[in-house]
A = this chain, B = another copy of it.
Amino acid sequence: MHVDLGGVLGATPGVSRDSLERLDEQVATAHERIAAGRDDHERGYAALNLPARVDLDAIRSAVAPFTDAEAVLTVGIGGSALGAATLADALAGPDDPDVYVLDNVDPEHVPRLLDSLPLERTAVNVVSKSGTTAETLSNFLVVREAMADAGVDWTERTVVTTGESGNLRALADAHDLPSLPVPDGVPGRFSVLSPVGLAVAAIQGHDLDAIRAGAAEAADSLSGSLFETPAYAYGAAAYALANRGATTNAMMPYAERLETFAEWFAQLWAESLGKDGLGQTPTRALGATDQHSQLQLYRAGPREKLVTLLRPTDRPACPIPETDLEGLSYLGGSTLGDLLDAEFDATGASLAASGVPVIRVEIDGIDERSLGALLYGMEAACVLYGELAGVSTFTQPAVEWGKRAARGLLGGGEFEEAEAVEERTSLRIDP
Residue of B nearest to A258 (CB): B106
A294 at the interface (CB under 8 A from B): yes
Closest 10 CB pairs of A and B: A78-B292, A274-B297, A274-B301, A330-B412, A346-B405, A107-B318, A350-B402, A270-B297, A267-B293, A299-B398
A336 at the interface (CB under 8 A from B): yes
Q: In the docked arrangement, what's the CA distance between A343 and B104, Å? A: 11
A144 at the interface (CB under 8 A from B): yes
- The answer to whether A337 touches B270 (Cβ under 8 A) is no
A335 at the interface (CB under 8 A from B): yes
Residues on B with beta carbons closer than 8 Å to the beta carbon of A10: 425
A36 at the interface (CB under 8 A from B): no
A207 at the interface (CB under 8 A from B): no
Question: How many interface residues does A have (CB within 8 Å)?
Answer: 154
Residues on B with beta carbons closer than 8 Å to the beta carbon of A112: 94
Q: In the docked arrangement, what's the CA distance between A1 and B428, Å? A: 11
Instruction: List 7 A-B residue pairs with CB atoms under 8 Å apart, sorted by A's residue number.
Output: A106-B336, A132-B327, A274-B301, A277-B301, A334-B411, A346-B409, A373-B431
Whole-angstrom distance between the Cβ of A220 and the nearest chain B Cβ: 8
Tell which of B138, B247, B316, B427 touches A339, judged by Cβ atoms closer than 8 Å.
B138
Tell which of B267, B296, B332 touches A271, judged by Cβ atoms closer than 8 Å.
B296
Residues on B with beta carbons closer than 8 Å to the beta carbon of A282: 283
- The answer to whether B108 touches A247 (Cβ under 8 A) is no
Residue of B nearest to A137 (CB): B328
Q: In the docked arrangement, what's the CA distance between A110 and B345, Å? A: 21
Contact indicator per residue, chain A 283-296, by CB within 8 Å of chain B (1) or not (0): 11011110111111
Residue of B nearest to A304 (CB): B247
Residue of B nearest to A350 (CB): B402
Residue of B nearest to A148 (CB): B321
A177 at the interface (CB under 8 A from B): no
Residues on B with beta carbons closer than 8 Å to the beta carbon of A278: 301-302
Q: In the docked arrangement, what's the CA distance between A257 and B104, Å? A: 11
Tell which of B135, B230, B337, B373 touches A288, judged by Cβ atoms closer than 8 Å.
B135
A298 at the interface (CB under 8 A from B): yes
A4 at the interface (CB under 8 A from B): yes
- The answer to whether B270 touches A293 (Cβ under 8 A) is yes
> Which of A2, A137, A230, A429 has the most B CB atoms < 10 Å from its CB?
A429
- The answer to whether B293 touches A104 (Cβ under 8 A) is no
